[in-house]
Structure 1
Amino acid sequence: MALLDSFTIPDFHLPFESAKHPQSGRANSEATSWALHHGLITDAAEQFAGIGFGHLSGRVCHEAPYRHVVLLAEWMAWSFVLDDQHDHLIRAERLEAWRPLTDAITGYLATGKIDSAPQLRRNPLVVGFIDLCDRILADMPPTVRERYRVHIPLMLRSLDQEAANRNAAQQPTIDDYVRMRRHSSQLLPMMDMVEAGLGVEVPPEVYNSSAFQDLMSSALDVISWGNDVFSLRKEFSCGDNNNLVSLLAWWNEWSLPEAVLAVQERTRSRIEDFLTAAQGLPDVLDTLEVTDPSARAGVARCVKSYQDWMIGADLWQRYECTRYSDERWVAGLESTYIRPDLVPGI
C-alpha cells in the first residue's frame, strides 16, 4: 500500500439541515472541568477542550434542555479519554490491564456495585462512569434504559476487537470491520442519551424491526466512515488498521487518496439508503399496527435526530474540533493530556 499521500477531505454532501444549542460553548467548558475534577486529565486541559465535545453535543442535542446537553458532553469527554487510554495500553503492550477495567464498568452497569480490586474502585475512569451512569439512567425511560445497558458492553467488546485487529497477522475483512465499527464508534449509547433528552421513545417493536435497524445502521455508517477519513492521518501514522480507508486501500491495492474517494462514494450510497428507509417507515408503522400519534411522532423525531447526528458530526469535525488537526495527533503520537498512569497494572 502506498504511503500516506496528501489528500483533501471530501464533501460528503449531507442533505440535512443543521442547528446548534446556544450554550454549546458553556457545555464544552463544564465538561472539561468535570474531566479535570474526576482526574481523567491533569494536564493540557486546553488541548483536551479543543476536542469540542460540548459543540458536538450541542449539535446533536440542540432541542433538549441544557442539562442534557452538558451531560452528553461529559459522557463524550469520558468516552474520548476511554478511547485514548485504550490506545495507550495497546501502544504500551499493557492490554492485560484493560479487561479488569471494563469488567468493573459492566459490573456496575449490571448490579450497581463494584466487585473489583480497590485501585479500580478509585480509578477515574470507573468513578467517572459511575457518576455519569447514575445520572443517565435516572433520566431514561425504561425501554431506552434497557437498550443503553445492552449497548455499553457491545461498545467495550468492540474495542477488544479493535485491539485484536491491530495485533492480527491478517487484516479484517471490510464487512467484519463495518459491523464492528458500528459499536466501536461509541455512538449507540450516545444516541440513547439524545433520545431520552428529547423526550421521545421509539416503541420496541419498531426499534427492533429490520427496517428501523437498517435505517439506524446506515446513519451509523455515514458518521463512522466520515470519521475514518478525518482520523486517517493519525491512525495510518501509528499503524492502526481500524479504518475503512486503510482497509479498502489494502484489500484493493489502492492509494489512500483513491480509497478516500471510494469511502466518499460508499457514504453517498448509505445516505441514499437512509433516505429510502426513512421514506418507507410510515408503511412499516402501519404494518406493525403502530397507530398512536405520539408513538409515530416519536419515531419521526428519532429519524430527525439521526439526521442531526450525521450533519452535526461532519460540521463538528470540520470546524470545531482540533483533535484531527493537532500536530502530535496527526503524527500518530499520543496527545499531551494522556495520563500514562490512569489505568494501573493489574
Structure 2
Amino acid sequence: MHALSHGTTSTPTIIAVPPALSLPVIETAFPRKFHPYWPRLREETRAWLLGKRLMPADKVEEHADGLCYTDLMAGYYIGAPDDVLQAIADYSAWFFVWDDRHDRDIVHGRAAAWLRLKDRLHRALDSPGDHLDHGDPVVAGLADSVERLYAFLPGGWNDRFARHFHEVIEAYDREFRNRTEGIVPTVEEYLELRRLTFAHWIWTDLLEPSAGRELPDEVRQNPAYRKAALLSQEFAAWYNDLCSLPKEMAGSEVHNLGISLVIHEELALEEAITEVRRRVEECISEFQDAERDALRFADTLDDGTVGGKETSAAVRACVGNMRNWFSSVYWFHHESGRYRVDSWDDRSTPPYVDNEAAGES
C-alpha cells in the first residue's frame, strides 16, 4: 500500500506503507478528502509559525511542509469556513510545537521551566488577549490561536473548550511526572490519560465551529453521537501509538499503549504490537456501526422547524468529519517526517525541534 506525499512540490511522491501498519479497510472504505483551502492553508500556517517564532526560520524552511501538520487538519474539518480552518490549523501546529517543547523539557530535566510554562498556559487560555505579546512564543502562540477560535461561536462553547484544554494541560503535567520518575501507567491508567494528552474532546469540540453551529448539550451527550466521536479519537490515538512506538522506545518514553501492555500485561513486544493493532481495527468496525446510529439520530433532530433542520445538518456534518479523521490520521502518519525515526541522525532527537532551553524569560 502507498501514501501520496505532496512534499514541497506539485508532484506527489509515493511512500510505501509498511505491511505491519497497513489498514486496507481505511484505504478502501474511508476515501481521503482535502479541504479546497488546503494549499493556502499550508502557506499561511508556515508564515504563522515563523511570525510567532514557534520554529526557527531554518526549521520552518526545511521541515514545516514535510511535517504535514496542515494536511492533517485539511483532511479532517471538511466544509469549515476558510478562516475557521486556518485558526484550527494554526492551533494544531502550535499543539505539535508545545508537545515537542514538553518532550525536550523532560529530556533535559527542565522541571522548573515546565511548571512555569504550565502555569502561563492556563492563564493564557483564560485571558488570551492579555498574553498575545508574551515573551515566550509558546504562550503567545496559544493566546493568538485560541483568541481566534473563541470568536466563532458563543461563550458557552468557549467555556467548554477552555475547560477541556485546562484538563489537557494538567494531563501533560502528569505525563511529565511519569516520564521523569520512570513510571509506566497501567493499561487502564494509560487509556484514561491518553484521552486527555491526545485531546480527544478538543478535536471533537472543533467540529462545531467547522459546522457553523454550537451543538446543545443534549445533542453532544447523546450516546450515539458521543460513541462515534470517542471511537474516531481512540482510533487516532492508538494508531499513533502503533506508528510512534519505535520513536518512543528510542526516546525512553513510558506513554504508549504498547509499552503499557509489555510492562503490565507481560506481553512480548510483537504480541503487544498485535494487540494494539487489534484494538485499532476494532475501533474502525465499531465506528462504522456507531456512525449509522449517529446519522439516524441526526435524522430525528429534523422536526420540521428551522432550528431542528439546522441542528440535524450540523450533526451530520460533524459525524461526516469524524469519518474523515480516520483517513486523515492514517495517511498523515506515513507522509509526515514526524514519524520517520529511521532517517534521523539521532533516533532520540527529532531534527525539527529546537533542542535548546526556551521560554526562560
TM-score normalised per structure 2: 0.83
From 32, 36, 42, the counterpart of 1:28: 42
Alignment partner, residue 3 of structure 1:
none
Q: Counterparts of 1:313 and 1:336 in 2: how far apart (Å)?
A: 20
Deviation by residue 1:240-262 (Cα, 9 ceiling, x = unmatched): 01111222222333333332221
| 1:102 lines up with 2:114 in the alignment | no
| 1:301 lines up with 2:317 in the alignment | yes
Alignment partner, residue 251 of structure 1:
264
Q: Counterparts of 1:286 and 1:92 in 2: how far apart (Å)?
A: 53
Q: Counterparts of 1:257 and 1:10 in 2: how far apart (Å)?
A: 16
> Which residue identity is paired with 1:256?
L
Q: Counterparts of 2:350 and 2:222 in 1: how far apart (Å)?
A: 41
Q: 1:68 to 1:339 in 2, by over 3 A?
A: farther
TM-score normalised per structure 1: 0.87
Q: Counterparts of 2:240 and 2:41 in 1: how far apart (Å)?
A: 22
Q: 1:7 to 1:295 in 2, by over 3 A?
A: closer
Q: 1:126 to 1:329 in 2, by over 3 A?
A: farther
| 1:51 lines up with 2:56 in the alignment | no
Q: Counterparts of 1:172 and 1:7 in 2: how far apart (Å)?
A: 29
Alignment partner, residue 156 of structure 1:
169
Deviation by residue 1:9-68 (Cα, 9 ceiling, x = unmatched): 232633323210234233223212211111111132222332111111110123223222
| 1:242 lines up with 2:274 in the alignment | no
Check conservation: 1:324, 1:330, Cα contact below 8 A: no
> CA offset at residue 131 of structure 1?
1.3
Alignment partner, residue 4 of structure 2:
none
Check conservation: 1:140, 1:193, Cα contact below 8 A: no
> CA offset at residue 286 of structure 1?
9.1
Q: Counterparts of 1:174 and 1:274 in 2: how far apart (Å)?
A: 22
Q: 1:111 to 1:68 in 2, by over 3 A?
A: closer
> CA offset at residue 174 of structure 1?
0.8
Alignment partner, residue 327 of structure 2:
311
| 1:8 lines up with 2:20 in the alignment | yes
Alignment partner, residue 275 of structure 1:
288
> CA offset at residue 196 of structure 1?
0.2
> CA offset at residue 219 of structure 1?
1.5
1:1-346 → structure 2 map (5 Å cutoff):
8-11=20-23, 13-14=25-26, 15-42=29-56, 43-45=58-60, 46-112=62-128, 114=130, 121-168=134-181, 170-281=183-294, 291=303, 292-318=308-334, 320-326=335-341, 327-328=343-344, 331-344=347-360
Deviation by residue 1:276-311 (Cα, 9 ceiling, x = unmatched): 333333676799x88423222222221111111122
Check conservation: 1:143, 1:204, Cα contact below 8 A: no
Check conservation: 1:25, 1:55, Cα contact below 8 A: no
> Which residue identity is paired with 2:210?
G
> CA offset at residue 86 of structure 1?
0.2
Q: Which one has more relative contact order, counting CA pairs under 8 Å at least 6 apart?
A: 1
> CA offset at residue 7 of structure 1?
7.9
Gaps of 5+ in 1: 1-5
Q: 1:165 to 1:341 in 2, by over 3 A?
A: closer
Q: 1:41 to 1:298 in 2, by over 3 A?
A: same
> CA offset at residue 165 of structure 1?
2.3
Q: 1:12 to 1:223 in 2, by over 3 A?
A: farther
SS in 1 for 2:20: coil
> CA offset at residue 210 of structure 1?
4.2
Check conservation: 2:164, 2:202, Cα contact below 8 A: yes
Q: Counterparts of 1:228 and 1:330 in 2: how far apart (Å)?
A: 20
Gaps of 5+ in 2: 1-17
Check conservation: 1:233, 1:330, Cα contact below 8 A: no
> CA offset at residue 271 of structure 1?
2.3
Q: Counterparts of 2:207 and 2:122 in 1: how far apart (Å)?
A: 21
* Pairwise CA RMSD: 2.6
